[in-house]
Amino acid sequence: LTSILIVEDDIYLQKLYEMMLKTQGFEIIGKAGNGSEAINIFKSLPNKPDIVLMDHRMPIKNGIDTTLELTRLNSNTKIIFISADNSVKKRALSIGVKCFIEKPFSIDQLNNEIKKVIENSKVVNN
């Protein structure tokens, strides 16, 4: 089962992602409403998530700063960046996020991107 940590400050979107991803057979192991909370949850999880879904515009700590911190904590962290702010795409990809999804997007698109990231990491690990 692919485990996912959802980082999104919009509670409605957070719930929607959770519901849709569960339906697709993914396991949601945490939800955070800002970057600082995401880091605390990440640290507290005994088994780290296979995938982190990362929003950019959030209070307290944005997605870029949170990504930098998470990858410093665990360089194997696979982050999928999700933002309406296309201007941070280059920056996000340059700091190691696995893919950038522009809001709005379809659940099929998200589903496919998660599967792609998991498949690619298997190839690298083998």
Residues that bind Mg ion (CB under 5 A): 9, 55, 57-58
Closest CB to Mg ion among residues 57, 116: 57
Please give the helix or strand (H or E) that residue 106 lies within, else none.
Answer: none
Closest CB to Mg ion among residues 103, 121: 103
What is the closest distance, in whole angstroms, from the C-beta atom of residue 76 to Mg ion in the complex? 25
Residue number with the shortest CB distance to Mg ion? 57
Contact between 37 and 8 (Cβ < 8 Å): no
Closest CA to 118 of 73, 61, 126, 85: 126
Closest CB to Mg ion among residues 9, 113: 9
What is the closest distance, in whole angstroms, from the C-beta atom of residue 80 to Mg ion in the complex? 15
Query: Which amino acid would we find at residue 94?
Result: S
What is the closest distance, in whole angstroms, from the C-beta atom of residue 121 to Mg ion in the complex? 26
Cα 31–27–103 angle (5° rounding)?
Answer: 55
